[in-house]
Amino acid sequence: MSARLLELEDVHTQLTLREGVVRAVDGVSFHVDAGETLGIVGESGSGKSMTALSIMRLLPRSGRIIGGSIRFKGRELRDLAEAEMEALRGTDIAMIFQDPMTSLNPVYRTGWQVGEPLRIHRHVKTAASVAAAVGLFKKVGIPEPEKRAMQYPHMFSGGMRQRAMIAMGLSTGPSLLIADEPTTALDVTIQAQILDLLRHLNREFGTATILITHNLGVVAGMCDRVIVMYAGRIVEEGRTEDVFANPEHPYTWSLLRSIPRLDAEVRGRLQPIEGSPPDMARLPEGCKFRSRCSFAIDRCATEEPELRQVRSQLTRCWVTQGGVSLESQSDLD
């Protein structure tokens, strides 16, 4: 068996907040293989970003990983010294965020900043690092790269800043790129450019990617596999085609039916998911989606299901685990 590039096993991450202790990531296990693109979807507060930050060990002050294992190329990241982790972040794992402005320093020229990982981790000299940054700018489609490398971040548009961040992330040739809502702050035409770039880079360099997004359309176009998160847990996992064609968790199922589609023919009412996501500081017993679920049975109120194989996916649902197909069940009502 070849080793996984990244493997999470039963990871628990807690946040200690004024409202109480929040189990932001509650028993999450998944893997990423070399070169593949894995999507993580879910609404705000579902634990997507906390999962990513746990991998990177970049949790906020209030956060702590309290259990589980995170292995990257066979090494346990939780055991690494901070300096080793720092070196890994600058070289083999890169992360880009929703708002690239917060991750670029306003007082330094962009070319100098993008060259930084090369100076620190590859001992490249200043001039050579800036020259490399210009080359990277060209690769990620920043026009007039020589001129742009001399400018400060505020002179860049949102889309260009995101390109600069991607350039910096890729400068050391990482095996894994974690992109947390990389296009959420951008216009759709610019989003299309950035997604096109990520797809191209994945193909050219074979960089494995974890793409965190709330946009199911983005997942459909980008990801080989997808994980659906709800209330700090994975509720469904599978190949993108399978999950979209035959969702095996009621949350995924109703989410796909609630969103308006550009290619929809008829203009009836949408089928919303009633209620709102649960308060993470006061999670209910049993299945966390139960109060909003139209398939719920008695058992869902008292016992929380495990993540189990149902047909081609993994799902955390008593109903589908009991052999019921959501599609035929919904026809009955």
Partner 1 sequence: MILTEAAAARGPAGAWTSSEPLVEVRALKTWFPVRSGVIGRTVAQVRAVDGVDLAIRQGETLGLVGESGCGKSTLGRSILRLVEPTSGEVFFKGRDLLRMGSGPIRRMRREMAMIFQDPFASLDPRQSIGGILGEALDIQRLSRTRRMREERIAELLDLVGLSPRFASRYPHEFSGGQRQRIGIARALAVDPSFIVCDEPVSALDVSIQAQIINLLQQLQERLHLTYLFIAHDLSVVKHISDRIAVMYVGKVIEISPARDLYARPRHPYTGSLLSAIPIPDPRIERGRERIILKGDVVSPVNPPSGCRFRTRCFKAQPRCAESEPALETVRDGEHLAACYFPL
Binding footprint of partner 1 on the chain (CB under 8 A): 43-44, 143, 157-160, 187-193, 195-196, 214-221, 240-241, 244-245, 254-256, 258-264, 267, 269-274, 276-277, 292
Q: How far is the CB of 128 from partner 1 (least distance, A)?
A: 28
Q: What is the largest CA-CA distance in the chain?
A: 69
- 8 A C-beta contact, residue 326 and residue 319: yes
Q: How far is the CB of 149 from partner 1 (least distance, A)?
A: 16
**CA 84, CA 99: separation in Å to the nearest integer?**
26
Q: What is the CA radius of gyration of the chain?
A: 21
Q: Angle at which helices 126-139 and 158-170 pack, to 10 degrees?
A: 120
Q: How far is the CB of 271 from partner 1 (least distance, A)?
A: 7
The single residue listed with the structure tokens 């290619």 is 263
CB atoms within 10 A of CB 52: 20
Residue 72 or 251: the one with the smaller Cβ distance to partner 1 is 251
Q: How far is the CB of 125 from partner 1 (least distance, A)?
A: 32
Q: How far is the CB of 43 from partner 1 (least distance, A)?
A: 4
Helix (H, G, I), strand (E, B) or coil at 24: strand
**CA 117, CA 28: separation in Å to the nearest integer?**
30
Say which residues have a Cβ less than 8 Å from residue 169's Cβ, sequence separation at least 6. Answer: 94, 95, 96, 177
Residue 133 or 273: the one with the smaller Cβ distance to partner 1 is 273
Q: How far is the CB of 93 from partner 1 (least distance, A)?
A: 26
For residue 42, give both structure tokens. 């879910």
- 8 A C-beta contact, residue 147 and residue 63: no
Helix (H, G, I), strand (E, B) or coil at 88: helix
Residue 191 or 320: the one with the smaller Cβ distance to partner 1 is 191
Residue 27 or 221: the one with the smaller Cβ distance to partner 1 is 221
- 8 A C-beta contact, residue 50 and residue 63: yes
**CA 31, CA 294: separation in Å to the nearest integer?**
31
Residue 58 or 192: the one with the smaller Cβ distance to partner 1 is 192
Q: How far is the CB of 139 from partner 1 (least distance, A)?
A: 16
Residue 3 or 155: the one with the smaller Cβ distance to partner 1 is 155
Residue 7 or 236: the one with the smaller Cβ distance to partner 1 is 236
